[in-house]
Amino acid sequence: MTPTAVNPSKPIDGGPVVYAADQPEYLPLPVWRRESGEVVSRWRLTWRERLAVLLGRDIYLGVFTYGQPLQPLYPTVSEADMFGWDQETP
Mean pLDDT of all residues in the chain? 90
Q: Residue 89 — pLDDT band, cuts 50, 70, 90?
A: very low
Instruction: Name the phi and psi angles at 82, rounded to 5.
Output: -65, -40
Cα Dmax for the chain: 41
29-33 sheet: strands from edge to edge: 2-4, 39-44, 29-33, 15-19
What are 66-85's pLDDT values in tens digits?
A: 999 998 998 998 888 888 87
What are the extents of the domains in the chain?
A: 2-82
pLDDT value at residue 87: 59
* 69 SS3 class: coil
pLDDT tens digits, 25-35? 999 999 999 99
Nearest to 39 by CA among 55, 62, 15: 15
What are the pLDDT digits (tens) for 45-58? 999 999 999 999 99
